[in-house]
Amino acid sequence: MKIICVGRNYNDHIKELKNQKPQSPVLFIKPDTSLCQPNLPFYIPNFTNDVQYEAEVIILINRIGKHIQTKFAHKYYDKVSLGIDFTARDLQNELKSKGLPWEKSKSFDGSALIGKWYSKEIFLDINNTPFKLLKNNRLVQKSNTSSMIWSVDELISYASKFFTLKIGDIIFTGTPSGVGTLKKEDDFQGFIGEKIALTFKVK
């Protein structure tokens, strides 16, 4: 399986990182080795001094597809959750400044935390669903999928022009503002709608 990630899909986060608003979705991929073991702590890797959390709504692909039209994209997923796109920001900034690919900073082992899957049917409208991340019981990220520049269905359609979607693939739909640095002993809880999707501790 592969994880397709979307960068710069919320205006407030684009401003926060002083990035340019893109003309089309920014995509990158994490390999299966980036998956974190659920219920284990996140261990800060030794090649970064600034690993950051990015909470994102994630979807699980349930059909194979290529060149999917936006109007049919909803047929390609029925489970949603919250995930964390762990990012070695110092390394990413260095790579970005040199015009180099981001993979070392975004796709390292353990860089993708996948929350508990929920049927999308339990949410009234997945394109208008709130989500939030708490750090040490304080709210750090809070948004709604309605604030995405490109909707889930538009992202599926766009990504499938380049990458065949396969059963079990996951799409990370982008992070809102409020990203920040992880410190040892931090405790996180993530929610989609009213449902708890993930918890993790940093070591």
Binding residues for Mg ion (CB under 5 A): 54, 85, 175
Find the shortest distance in angstroms from Cβ 29 to Mg ion: 12
Q: How far is 203 from 193, CA to CA, in rounded Å?
A: 28
Find the shortest distance in angstroms from Cβ 124 to Mg ion: 25
Q: How far is 195 from 81, CA to CA, in rounded Å?
A: 9
Residue number with CB closer to Mg ion (92 or 175): 175
Query: Token match 């340019």: residue?
Result: 20
For every residue of 111-155, DSSP letters joined together read: -EEE---EEGGGSS-GGG-EEEEEETTEEEEEEEGGGBSS-HHHH
Residue number with CB closer to Mg ion (21 or 71): 21
Distances (CA, A) of 124 to 127, 128, 174: 9, 8, 21
Residue number with CB closer to Mg ion (18 or 67): 18
The neighbour count for residue 33, using CB atoms within 10 Å, is: 11
- Nearest residue to Mg ion by CB is 85
Find the shortest distance in angstroms from Cβ 43 to Mg ion: 20
Residue number with CB closer to Mg ion (19 or 119): 19
Find the shortest distance in angstroms from Cβ 179 to Mg ion: 8
